[in-house]
Amino acid sequence: MRHYQVQIARDHGFLTFPGFLDNHFIQENRKADIKYLRRMLRRYAIGSVIFAVAPDYQLKEMLKLKEEYPDVNWIFPLHSKDEDFSEFDWIGFPHRDTLRDYSLGWFLKATKGKKRWYLGFWNESNPYIAKKFDGLDTVIPSYYSTKLGKIWYNWNECETVNKYVERRELFTHNVIVFKLRILQVLDSNIEVPQLHEFIEERGETFG
C-alpha cells in the first residue's frame, strides 16, 4: 500500500502496516521472505506489530520467531492438513484453494477452540463467511482503486470511473464503503443458513 493509502485506512479504523505484517509469501517457490520479515520486526516489533503472518511451511522458523517476539500475535498460515499448528493461537485460512489441500468445512472443524484468520479475504460471492473468523486481511479497496480504477459499491458491484478522478479520492471512497459493507456482514443475523447453503453446494461438511 502507498503511504497515503495506509493513512486513509488508519483514519477509518483499519489495522495497517506495520500493525499487520505480511511475510511476502511467494506461491511459486513456496517461501516467505524471512529476511524482510526479520528486518521489519527489528524496526517495528516493540509496540507496533500487533499481528504477523509466520513464514509458510517453515515450522522451526515460525517457533523461533514466536519465541523471540512473544508480544506479536503470530498467524500460522495453514496449507495442509498434515501441518502441526498446535503451538499457535491464530490459524490462517488462505483464500485461494490452490494454496491448501482442505475445504472450509474441514478448517472450521480442525480449528475449533483456536482463533481464525482469513488470509487474503476476497469472498465477494458469500462475504458472510467472514463471520466465522476472528480476523481478516484484504486488498479489496486498494485493488479496485489502484489496479482497476473502479469505484466499489458492494459485493460484486463496481463501476469504472473517469480517468480524471483522483486515485486518493477513489481509494477513500472504497475504504469507507468496504467498512460499511463488512460491518453490515458482521452485524447481520442471517449468516448461518447462507453459510450452510454455500458450503453444502461445494460438498463440504459444516460444523
Rounded mean pLDDT of 81-87?
96
What is the pLDDT, as a whole number, of residue 66? 96
| pLDDT, the chain, mean | 88
CA atoms within 13 A on the CB side of 167: 13
- The C-alpha atoms of residue 100 and residue 167 are separated, in whole angstroms, by 34
Q: CB under 8 Å to 136, separation ≥6 — which residues?
A: 117, 118, 119, 121, 130
> Does 207 score more than 50 pLDDT?
no
Q: For residue 65, what is the enclosing H or E element? A: helix 59-68
CA dihedral 166, 174, 115, 20 (to 10 degrees): 10
Q: What is the DSSP letter of 164?
A: T
**Residue 205: per-residue pLDDT:** 42
Strand ranges for 17-149 from DSSP E: 20-21, 51-53, 73-77, 90-94, 115-119, 135-136
Q: How far is it, in rounded angstroms, from Cα 42 to Cα 48? A: 11
Q: What length does the chain have?
A: 207
Cell of 151: 469505484
Tell me the three cell numbers of residue 136. Answer: 481478516
Q: Confidence band (pLDDT; 50, 70, 90) for 29?
A: low
Q: Which residue has the higher pLDDT, 36 or 197?
A: 36
Q: What pTM value is reported for the model?
A: 0.87
115-164: pLDDT as tens digits: 999 999 998 888 999 999 999 999 999 999 999 999 999 999 999 998 78
Number of other residues whose CB lies within 10 A of the CB of residue 71 = 9
DSSP letter string, 174-204: HHHHHHHHHHHHHH-S-HHHHHHHHHHHTT-
Q: Which of 36-50, 52-66, 85-99 has the lowest mean pLDDT?
A: 36-50
Show Cβ contacts of residue 83 under 8 Å, excluding neighbours closer than 6 positions: 57, 59, 76
pLDDT band at 27 (very low <50, low <70, confident <90, very high): low
Q: What is the dihedral of CA 96, 41, 13, 107, to 10 degrees?
A: 30
**pLDDT mean over 102-122:** 95
Band (pLDDT 50/70/90 cuts) for residue 61 is very high
